[in-house]
């Protein structure tokens, strides 16, 4: 068997493993959702959403994206384990010191943060717990990034599933044993992240070395620091809408927005599953160089887009049934957020190309203009739309900003590392998908038998697939090859 066939077989096998783990983790969350939504109110979920928000924002600011440098230089030093261990250990020392000093500051500012930023809706002690949770989340992201770079799909997937299982089981324990509401979710997150962090430290003990290299740390920071403005703006992008919703519409509107985002997030889960094999595939091919390697990158890219588009349309149309099946009536308004938010994720498809392009070229600063444009647009649109339309307005603002970012993302990605990209083919995928999405809100309002409604939705999705086949975005031959490669990869 040729080297290329072996590479393809590994790609499909790993993608399938990542996707299976992601779907199992999502299924665990969805299965437990009917229980949580009967014990927790939308306001309780709103408190947890703000808790998670501060964890993400604080860890993002403090880490300065240094985990991306560790990921990048794994490929450069993967033939020299000791060299990589020194860089890895130096970066971890920097991270621990940074979080320790920042934690001291957060402890003394927690009162101010609680009342000035969150209007007192999360108390200071939760701010402190949120920071600790964010630190553990970052360590998990750091170590699972190395697992991803090592193509250890099974280990990564076990960690992913175990994390989801622990988080939900521990949360349910606190719900039933102590009648906790939002605290059950918070304690479930903290304890599960603590257990997973310890497991990952043990798993990677052979990559720790008692040696600190200032030059390696400088190399990592030099790679990471151009991303700092971009990461800061991305954090503003992901947090401003929730802060605005909290101020203008309250905790319940945050919950409707977050539930819509979480149901739509299934497409992000699928995209991430592909992305975990896509980025190593891209970087390895880019290191090979030559037109053949670039053509292979583009072919794999459009294969991913075709599959992701079908899943995206399916989520858009069947989110109504999922929300109504898994939640109570208090949460139904989130149905209207889902289709918009799915498109927010789908407009991130050019970013799946941009990120490895910039990473390979080591020109991370090229990502700053795209993020800046997106953040400015997002803030302006949120200020206009949230006071009028609440959660739906926040979703629209996020989607439009993401859509407009496609153009500069493609431009700067191509400038960093040129690929023979068919721009019309990329544009037409979104155009066809948008046309097939247009009827969704009309169908949501139809008061007809649910079986008839489901039949209509299935017909639309099948029509979309036929159009994709007709115009060559999907071929039956490629689908059969994909199925056979996945089947063979699991039986060998």
**Higher confidence at residue 482 or residue 197?**
197
Give me the numbers of helices (H) and strands (E) for the chain, helices first please. Answer: 18, 0
Mean pLDDT of the chain: 84
What is the band of 191 on the pLDDT scale with cuts at 50, 70, 90?
very high
Cβ-based neighbours of 390, under 8 Å, separated by 6 or more: 245, 248, 249, 253, 256, 257
pLDDT at 140: 94
**Inter-CA distances, 37 with 30, 106, 190, 315, 325, Å:** 11, 32, 20, 21, 11
Q: 192 and 166 in contact (C-beta within 8 Å)?
A: yes
Residue 372 has a CB neighbour count (10 Å cut-off) of 15
Show the CA angle centred on residue 266, arms to residues 473 and 224, nearest 5°.
Answer: 90
Q: Mean pLDDT, to the nearest integer, of 204-225?
A: 84
Digit-coded pLDDT (tens) for 360-399: 777 766 667 777 777 788 888 888 999 888 989 988 988 8
Tokens representing 254 are 């945050």
Give the relative orientation of helices 124-149 and 251-288 as an angle to the nearest 10 degrees. 20
Digit-coded pLDDT (tens) for 56-93: 888 888 887 788 888 888 877 777 788 888 988 999 99
The pTM for the full model equals 0.71
Q: Mean pLDDT, to the nearest integer, of 475-486?
A: 58
Q: Mean pLDDT, to the nearest integer, of 430-448?
A: 87
Distance, CA of 320 to CA of 397 (rounded, Å): 21
Q: 238 and 265 in contact (C-beta within 8 Å)?
A: no
Burial 15-41 (b: 16+ CB within 10 A, else e): bbbbbebbeebbebbeebbeebbeebb
pLDDT at 235: 66
pLDDT above 90: residue 181: yes
């Amino acid at each position: 068997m040729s080297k290329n066939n072996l590479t393809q077989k590994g790609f499909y096998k790993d993608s399938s493993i990542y996707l299976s783990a992601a779907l199992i983790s999502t299924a665990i969350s969805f299965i437990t959702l009917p229980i949580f939504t009967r014990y927790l109110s939308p306001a309780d979920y709103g408190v947890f959403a703000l808790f998670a928000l501060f964890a993400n924002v604080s860890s993002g600011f403090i880490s300065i994206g240094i985990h991306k440098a560790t990921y990048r230089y794994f490929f450069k030093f993967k033939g020299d384990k000791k060299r990589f261990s020194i860089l890895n250990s130096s970066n971890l020392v920097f991270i621990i010191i940074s979080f320790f000093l920042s934690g001291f500051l957060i402890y003394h500012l927690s009162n101010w943060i609680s009342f000035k930023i969150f209007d007192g809706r999360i108390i200071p002690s939760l701010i402190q717990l949120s920071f600790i949770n964010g630190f553990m989340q970052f360590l998990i992201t750091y170590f699972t990034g190395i697992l991803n770079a090592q193509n250890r799909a099974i280990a990564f997937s076990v960690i992913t599933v175990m994390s989801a299982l622990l988080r939900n089981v521990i949360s349910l324990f606190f719900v039933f044993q102590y009648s906790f509401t939002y605290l059950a979710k918070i304690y479930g997150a903290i304890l599960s992240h603590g257990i997973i962090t310890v497991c990952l430290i043990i798993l990677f003990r052979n990559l720790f070395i008692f040696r600190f290299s200032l030059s390696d740390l400088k190399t990592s920071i030099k790679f990471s620091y151009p991303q700092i403005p971009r990461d800061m703006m991305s954090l503003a992008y992901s947090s401003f809408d929730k802060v605005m919703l909290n101020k203008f519409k309250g905790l319940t509107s945050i919950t409707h927005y977050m539930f819509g985002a979480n149901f739509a997030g299934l497409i992000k889960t699928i995209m991430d599953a592909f992305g975990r094999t896509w980025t190593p595939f891209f970087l390895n091919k880019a290191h090979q160089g030559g037109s053949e390697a670039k053509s292979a990158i583009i072919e794999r890219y459009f294969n991913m887009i075709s599959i992701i588009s079908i899943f995206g349309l399916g989520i858009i149309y069947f989110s109504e049934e999922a929300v109504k099946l898994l939640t109570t009536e208090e949460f139904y308004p989130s149905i209207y957020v889902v289709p918009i938010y799915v498109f927010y994720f789908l407009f991130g498809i050019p970013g799946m190309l941009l990120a490895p392009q910039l990473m390979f070229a080591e020109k991370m600063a090229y990502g700053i203009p795209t993020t800046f444009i997106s953040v400015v647009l997002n803030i302006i649109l949120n200020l206009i739309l949230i006071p009028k339309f609440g959660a739906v307005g926040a979703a629209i603002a996020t989607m439009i900003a993401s859509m407009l970012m496609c153009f500069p993302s493609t431009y700067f990605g191509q400038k960093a590392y040129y690929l023979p990209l068919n721009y019309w083919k990329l544009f037409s995928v979104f155009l066809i998908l948008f046309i097939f999405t247009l009827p969704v809100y009309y169908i949501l309002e139809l008061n007809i038998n649910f079986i008839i409604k489901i039949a209509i939705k299935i017909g639309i999705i099948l029509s979309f697939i036929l159009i994709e086949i007709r115009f060559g975005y999907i071929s039956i031959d490629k689908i059969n090859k994909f199925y056979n490669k996945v089947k063979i990869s699991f039986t060998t």
